[in-house]
Chains A and B, each alone.
Chain A
Amino acid sequence: MAHAHAHAVKRRTGIMDWLTTVDHKKIGIMYLLAGGFFFLIGGLEAILIRLQLMFPQSDVVSAQFYNELITMHGTTMIFLAAMPIIFGFMNAIIPLQIGARDVAYPFVNALGFWTFFFGGLLLNISFIAGTVPDAGWTMYAPLSGTTYTEHHGTDYYVIGLQISGIGTLIGGINFLVTIINMRAPGMTFMRMPMFTWASFITSALILFAFPALTVGLAALMFDRIFNGNFFNPSAGGNVVLWEHIFWIFGHPEVYILILPAFGIISEVVSTFSRKRLFGYSSMVFATVLIGFLGFMVWAHHMFTTGLGAIANALFSIATMLIAVPTGIKIFNWLFTMWGGSIRFTVANMFAVGFVPTFVMGGVTGVMLAVAPADYQYHDTYFVVAHFHYVIVGGLVMGIFAGMHYWWPKMFGRMLSEKLGIWTFWMFYIGFHLTFFVQHFLGLLGMPRRIWQYLDGMGLNNLNFISTIGALMMGVGTIMFLINVVITMRKPKNLSNDPWEDGRTLEWTIPSPAPEYNFAQTPLVRGYDAWWHEKMEGNTKMTPVEPIGPIHMPSPSILPFFMAVGLFIAGFGFMYSKPADWGTTGLIIGAAGLLITFGCMALRSWFDDHGFHIEEEEILKDQGVKA
């Protein structure tokens, strides 16, 4: 029956292959590419910020441009660099780790990528349009409203993030369902690799946190474009409401970012210690608990807003509690290494470097939870230092570890370890130089988001050191790029398990994985499935099915056009005020939505029967590898 349905679909090549692909591995690579691209833009913005602050009262950039830089740096790094890169890993790795041939919704997966990409593009086109968001990534009202931001900056922010947020949300649902429904036989929840677990919780956080942002952005958009009054104090609006909505989303967002990094670190540390992850079940429990508590603590970003002593007290205590599960994780990593046989590959250097760095970010987090002390820390460089320790020292280190660890699986080539060591030290030392001193800058009285600081205030030296560190991080990043370029020219000749200490299912299949991932779905017989087999002397997994034709979803251009439709609609609505394009704007907006919903209807109307990869092709692949 399946055969009768499935049509022989022409496989596309070249650019059309990438625009139409629904293969999670290719989508993963696109996420990494696009996320990496935005990471470089955000990094450039960071360097400009640090150059401006290198000396007191300098004029490297104007005050207006400076505010644009800080806003776009934060927004880009969080929404367009960090999250997409995480999604890149989730796409590239999770189906392989759970023994699946694909994600639950390949089409939606592609749609998620394209909406993220076009949302990010729209946001960054603001630089070309000359009206850049400038009210900080937190977009506090009323500064972000029409009264105080007359230009279109905020509009680019709300619409760009709204579009890319759709991508994130459907991506999150996709991974939840993939993990719930698509696990190989024997892959019970409590046998899932830690990265998959962390991504599972992250996806759940996305599902419950992003809709709040959707509403916040929509409300701000209605205020700005349709003269709404949500955050307009003169018509009864409430600006503190925006703070609440933003942080109800914003704090879980922090854990959305960091949990997958925790997952990566768990995998890398365990692999290169040749040891089972210590306290796996308490690690899972801690991850779930962190995710849960993440929704209870948003108001610690608002201690100085004036919520009153009782609210501040409660949120102080709730925030401190998060230290407990986080501590559990830290010590479990340390005891995974304890008694192990630690190999210092570049991936593991980043992972090992992560642990103490993240602890420093964690303890300053507890310090910030002390509300009365936070009256001093809040909105100073102390906070800037804290969250960069968590996000750069935590997440970005995790990303670098993941890049070096999974690169061979994704591309069939090993990144140069020699160059990698240089990357690590350059980035690591640069990182600590940049951000360690910022703790002190904050305590010495330097608020964050300031364009200039006065001379003679005792802030010069530390700012100078910080800038030097930032430049070193820039050099480290460039070294990584060089490494990538060099590696791309090497031959693809890696074995299934190039690190030789692989523990999880992704190391049982060729590097890079074939289109169908697993020629035969494997039977999972324990935690660390592949290690389990290796220890029993097996050289491959036990299959649960004979080799046979494999059904695959068809590629489609529709996701691309759906995202384009939203992109067009965004522009139309943004300029639909009488002062801009007026009704024409509304028509363009409606036309864009029509494209999107039209494509959606087409997708529903024409069933995707997919196609089959025939037995001969699979056998041929196997022959080549064997």
Chain B
Amino acid sequence: MKRFAPLMALLVLVLSACGREDLSALNPQGPVAQEQRDLMLISILIMSIVVVSVFAISIYVLIKFRRRKGDNSIPKQVEGSHKLEVIWTVIPIILLVVLAVPTLKSVFSLAKDYTEDPEALQVIVTAHQYWWEFEYPELGIKTAQELVIPTGKTISIQAKTADVIHSFWIPSLAGKTDTNPDGNVNKMYFSAPKAGVYQGKCAELCGPSHGLMDFKVKAVEPSSFERWQIAMLDTVQLPSDSEIASAFESQCLTCHAVGDYGGGAFPNLTGIGSRESVAGILINVEEGEIEYKHEDTVYNNLYKWIKDPEAVKPGNHMTGAYQLTDEEVAGIAEYLSNLTLDFE
């Protein structure tokens, strides 16, 4: 078994070389990430020419010219060679030109502005410590943590921040763009031809929970997307139990919104029960399918989060902002877990 250890290590590398469909930049799921992956491949290819030739010369030299025992001869003192200098100046320049052409093309094509394009879906992304706000200005919809998009359509992003600099990144769909404060809006675009859930990340250090500031991009068929719009704008019922309802109103809706109720400073909770995750990081799965520490049922995740947000996301702004008894936490978690949207 031991003999195979290096081979195994290599296998691990090769197997992981492409990575998860929803997370890996090497396994692109949309045209933008595809273009970026292609550039990576071109550069890797060109660079391997360099690496291979240097390695080959190194190995040859080290073996051929090693000092043998008792060898006290003085090698010829060569000053240099103009011919060689020219060769290893010109060849790299040619290689770089080959690389520079597609680079420049892509720099400009990816900078295309879709914010005025009526065919594109406009989304304003606002980053907060440690959550993402997604606003669809044309649809009058605001949501959080889960960016729902129709497949095939170009999504035009305008990214900014409400506090510190974050960076908006969906590895399998598109490279990142920073979210800057005060009016300094960054634009980007991407699209997802295939329906599915893609992992989004914050890529700029933004505080203790930077690493936990995940979001999801959910690409659905255009017809489903239309149903989602309607469902998002539908009226929402408050908890039926009056005690839970009053706790929810006084402790939660001061910051959060559901439907027409509440404030907009913090994540909009409309449809939270049917999202992929709670707080972006606790993944909702069916009972019996729990595999990892961060997975649980919607109810349990909500309960865990509301009960002690600090344990889930250190340094978040929710900790200590409300007071709820265990029963109220359970009731609100129950209510929110049933706050679902039927659109898929």
Contacts and interface: CB of A to CB of B under 8 A. Distances in A.
Touching chains A and B, CB distance < 8 Å: yes
A352 B54 CA distance: 12
B20 interface: yes
Interface in B144-191: 163-165, 167, 169, 171-172, 174-178, 180-182, 184, 186-187
A375 B174 contact: yes
A458 B18 CA distance: 10
Interface stretch (B102-110, B233-241, B245-253, B300-308): B102-110
Contacts of A372: 35-36, 39, 103, 106-107, 110, 175
Contacts of B205: 67, 135-136, 140, 143, 449
Given A279-B85, A444-B23, A445-B201, A148 B163 contact: yes
A309 B66 contact: no
A371 B184 CA distance: 20
A538 interface: no
A62 B106 CA distance: 41
B25 interface: yes
Contact of A465 (B9, B36, B77): B9
For the complex of A and B, the 6 pairs showing the least CB-CB separation, nearest first, are A375-B175, A450-B211, A279-B80, A309-B111, A63-B208, A306-B186
A233 B160 CA distance: 13
18 contacts: A143-B207, A274-B67, A304-B176, A304-B177, A316-B103, A337-B61, A337-B62, A344-B66, A356-B55, A363-B51, A366-B43, A372-B103, A440-B17, A443-B40, A444-B25, A445-B20, A454-B292, A457-B20
Given A372-B106, A454-B281, A282 B186 contact: no
Interface stretch (A19-27, A325-333, A394-402, A416-424): A325-333
A288 to B, nearest CB: 15
Interface residues of B, number: 98
B67 A343 contact: yes
Interface in A347-393: 352, 355-356, 359-360, 363-364, 366-367, 369-376, 378-380
A349 to B, nearest CB: 10
A60 to B, nearest CB: 14
Contacts of A454: 214, 281, 283, 292, 294
Given A143-B207, A304-B175, A445 B315 contact: no
A457 B293 CA distance: 12
Interface string B102-127: 01101110110000000000000000
Nearest to B169: A447
Interface string B19-49: 1100111100000010111011001100100
A461 interface: yes
Interface in A266-283: 273-276, 278-282
Nearest to A305: B178
A341 B111 contact: no
Nearest to B42: A370
Given A306-B184, A372-B35, A443-B25, A338 B61 contact: yes
A320 B96 contact: yes
Interface stretch (B68-76, B254-262, B264-272): B68-76
B184 to A, nearest CB: 7
Interface string A302-321: 00111011001100110011
Contact of B111 (A308, A324, A374): A308
B176 A341 contact: no
B199 A445 contact: yes
B314 A64 contact: yes
B165 A366 contact: no
A360 B33 CA distance: 24
Nearest to A143: B164
Interface of A: 56-57, 62-64, 66-67, 134-136, 140, 142-143, 148, 233-234, 239-240, 273-276, 278-282, 304-306, 308-309, 312-313, 316-317, 320-321, 323-324, 327-328, 330-332, 334-335, 337-344, 352, 355-356, 359-360, 363-364, 366-367, 369-376, 378-380, 437, 440, 443-445, 447-458, 461-462, 465, 535
A370 B103 CA distance: 6
Given A366-B99, A455-B292, A447 B203 contact: yes
Contacts of A360: 51
Given A143-B165, A324-B89, A380-B203, A233 B182 contact: yes
Given A313-B104, A340-B65, 11 more contacts: A306-B187, A313-B107, A327-B92, A341-B67, A341-B75, A342-B67, A344-B66, A359-B50, A373-B43, A445-B25, A458-B19
Contacts of A327: 50, 88-89, 92
Given A308-B111, A334-B58, A452-B211, A378 B176 contact: yes
B226 interface: no
A142 B165 contact: yes
A274 B78 CA distance: 11
B25 A324 contact: no
B229 interface: no
Contact of A356 (B23, B35, B54): B54
Given A327-B88, A372-B36, A341 B62 contact: no
B204 interface: yes
A625 to B, nearest CB: 25
Contacts of A341: 65, 67, 71, 73-75
Nearest to A382: B25
B323 interface: no
Q: Interface of chain A, helix or strand or loop or mixed?
A: helix
B80 A282 contact: yes
B182 A379 contact: no
Contacts of B39: 370, 372-373
A86 to B, nearest CB: 25
B275 interface: no
Q: Residue among A64, A276, A443 with the most chain B CB within 10 A?
A: A443
Nearest to B283: A454
A367 B204 contact: no
A17 B51 CA distance: 50
Given A323-B92, A372-B107, A282 B65 contact: no
Contacts of B209: 63, 451
A378 B175 CA distance: 8
A273 B71 CA distance: 12
Contact of B167 (A64, A304, A445): A304
B278 to A, nearest CB: 14
B291 interface: yes
B133 to A, nearest CB: 18
B202 interface: yes
Contacts of A275: 75-78
B333 to A, nearest CB: 22
A63 B172 CA distance: 27
Q: Residue among A57, A64, A447 with the most chain B CB within 10 A?
A: A447
Contact of A305 (B44, B180, B283): B180
Contacts of A465: 9, 12
Contacts of A142: 163-165, 181
B65 A342 contact: yes
A339 B75 contact: yes
Contacts of A317: 100, 103-104
Nearest to A278: B80
Contacts of B184: 240, 306
Contacts of B66: 342, 344
Given A140-B205, A276-B79, A337-B61, A461 B12 contact: yes
Contacts of A334: 54, 57-58, 61
Nearest to A148: B164
Contacts of B62: 337, 342, 352
A340 B76 CA distance: 8
B16 interface: yes
A317 B107 CA distance: 11
B81 interface: yes
B210 A451 contact: yes
A373 B92 CA distance: 20
